[in-house]
Amino acid sequence: WEPRLYYYIRRIVENENDVWDILQETWLAVFQNIRKLQDPLKFPTWLYRIGHNKAVNLLRKENKYAQITTEQIANQYENNTTISVVKEQAELVHKLLGKLKLAHREIITLYFLEGFSINEMAQIIGVSEGTVKSRLYYAKHKLHEVLRGKKDV
């Protein structure tokens, strides 16, 4: 789970050292509170929620905005023959996500890149399912606008 959680937190937090600190704090919280997890099938949602909260708390403390780096996306792929294609795609993803608000970036990441359900996303972010659906709708709309070149979001 750590590589995926790292990637998710990295989209929220800019500084790599902060990401590693948040990961450590997240795993520490997991080990300290694992007995509170009633349904083991909900572990991924619970884990991401803890990581999300730690990252958001840091942002509040430091008032930062997240950025995703091309290298991060490309580094997830080990096959050197596809690395140039991946870097090109990663560059596009980086540019597109960079034009979205943090809330929209987060929703797009959780839904399309991490594959979480609406319910799971609501639990991770700490909002209602209706809010997740609304944010997802508007995030897709903003992403579509960016893709069509109509607007710099």
- Report the CATH number at residue 115: 1.10.10.10
Task: Report d(CA 86, CA 75) in Å as an integer.
Answer: 9
More confident residue, 57 or 25: 25
Give the gyration radius of the chain's Cα atoms: 16
Alpha helices (H) in the chain, listed in sequence order = 2-12, 16-33, 43-62, 70-75, 83-98, 102-108, 118-125, 129-148
Residue 88 lies in a domain: no
Average pLDDT (136-140) is 90
Angle at 135 between CA 129 and CA 133, to 5 degrees: 35
Q: What pLDDT, on the 0 to 100 scale, is given for residue 91? A: 67
Same domain, 61 and 109: no
Distance, in Å, from the CA atom of 98 to the CA atom of 4, rounded to the nearest integer, reads 19
Cβ distance 68 to 11 under 8 Å?
A: yes
Mark whether 54 and 7 lie in a shared domain. Answer: yes
Q: With beta carbons less than 8 A apart as the criterion, state whether 105 and 113 touch.
A: no
**Which one-letter amino acid corresponds to residue 144?**
H
Where a domain ends, among 67, 88, 112?
A: 67
Burial of 15 (0-12, 13-18, 19+ CB in 10 A): middle
Domain match, 53 and 13 both? yes
What's the number of CA atoms in the CB half-sphere (13 Å) around residue 114?
Answer: 26
The residue out of 45, 67, 89 marking a domain boundary is 67
Q: Tokens 């430091």 map to which residue? A: 62
Residue % of the chain over a pLDDT of 90: 15
Same domain, 107 and 148: yes
Question: Residue 67: its pLDDT value, please?
Answer: 43
* Containing structural domain, residue 42: 1-67
Extract the tokens encoding 95.
Answer: 């540019």
For residue 85, tell me if it sits in a domain. no
Tokens of 64: 């930062």
Q: Which residue has the higher pLDDT, 70 or 18?
A: 18
In a domain, 142, yes or no: yes
Q: How many distinct structural domains can be found in the chain?
A: 2
Q: Are residues 63 and 4 in the same domain?
A: yes
Q: Is residue 74 in some structural domain?
A: no
Whether 82 maps to a domain, the answer reads no
- Which of residues 23, 48, 67 is at a domain's end? 67
> Cβ distance 47 to 5 under 8 Å?
yes
What pLDDT sits at residue 66?
38
CATH of residue 16's domain is 1.10.1740.10
